[in-house]
Amino acid sequence: MRNKITVATVFLAGIIVVSCKPKITEENSNRTEITLNENVAKISKPIPYTEAKHYFVKNTYINNQIEELKITNSEEFYRIFGMATVMGKDGMPTPIDFSKQYVLAVIDLPTEFSITLKLNTLKQENDSIIVDYQLEEGEKQSYTSQSSLVILVNQEFKGEPNFQRKQNTKLSHLKS
């Protein structure tokens, strides 16, 4: 009899522990942040996005600084970017439907260094789209290349983009 009571007690304790554990859901992880800044409430919400793959900056596109663009039509997009289809399972460029999406793009300067552009966060903050990204410089190459970051965003997320670049002191290809 004592064994049955002990087993039942352990079983009930286990159920209580499991039911009290906080549940982490996608809804909780995408929770809206509210911060106060100078007496103005900022409502911040993450924006889902797709990073477009297999596109390159055309050599006819000339820029003298890092460009941060919002592109809303295919004509403008294909004036700047070309498709870079490669062999293999995921070798096709990411499809873009400008009737449902727009592009947020960052285009680095041409350089002899390997550059990686990384998106840290993309979020809606009141009437702005905050694009927080960084550049990471790698090794010197024997050729010049031009890195870019191409992000696809659904048109339901409206607002002017506010690009915020994280400074990296090792970016020797940028002019001070």
Q: What is the residue type of 112?
A: E
Q: Which residues contact 95 (CB under 8 A, 6 or more apart)?
A: none
More confident residue, 20 or 44: 44
Q: Report if pTM > 0.85.
A: no
pLDDT over threshold 70, residue 173: no
Higher pLDDT, 125 or 23: 125
Q: What is the pLDDT of residue 14?
A: 46
Query: Which residues neighbour 153 within 8 Å (Cβ) at sequence distance 6 or greater?
Result: 47, 49, 101, 102, 103, 104, 122, 129
Query: Is the pLDDT reported for residue 150 higher than 70?
Result: yes
The answer, yes or no, to whether residue 6 has pLDDT greater than 60, is no
Percent of the chain with pLDDT strictly greater than 90: 65
